[in-house]
Amino acid sequence: MEKSSLGIMEYHLLSLIWENEPLTSMQLVQLCGEAFDWKKSTTYTMLKRLQQKGFVHSERTVVTSLIDRDSVQSSESETFVANTFSGSLPGFLTAFFNGKTISDEEAEELKKLIDSYRG
């Protein structure tokens, strides 16, 4: 995959593809019309962008993803933290939790997650 960031609507389109693949381009046009109120031309334009960025493949009108959701989410979140918080995960978490509280269960889940990634 090309190291390229997704726009929010590109991500929503890709999510629709993940949830329904493989699907025909006409099925995708119908789903996008229902979900986003897009015209056929808008769907094809957005699909072409995803193809150029290396996220999807379309052959003989069948559309499939080339990368899974977890990989995209990981890459996009790394890019966001790098660009917005100078790569500081604690900086991101501080901003994210600003004024919020979490349950004891959520705190315990986060502790376990951090421990599992400790080097």
7-60 tens-digit pLDDT: 999 999 999 999 999 999 999 999 999 999 999 999 999 999 999 999 999 999
Q: How far apart are CA 28 and CA 81, in angstroms?
A: 32
C-beta separation of 45 from 12 below 8 A = no
Q: How far apart are CA 17 and CA 86, in angstroms?
A: 32
- The residue ranges of every structural domain in the chain are 8-69, 88-119
The token pair that represents 93 in the structure block: 């978490």
Q: How far apart are CA 23 and CA 88, in angstroms?
A: 39
Class for the domain spanning 8-69:
mainly alpha
- Cβ neighbourhood burial of 103 (10 Å; 0-12, 13-18, 19+): exposed
In tens, the pLDDT along 80-116 reads 999 999 999 999 999 999 989 999 999 999 999 999 9
> What is the length of the chain?
119
- What's the pLDDT at 2? 44
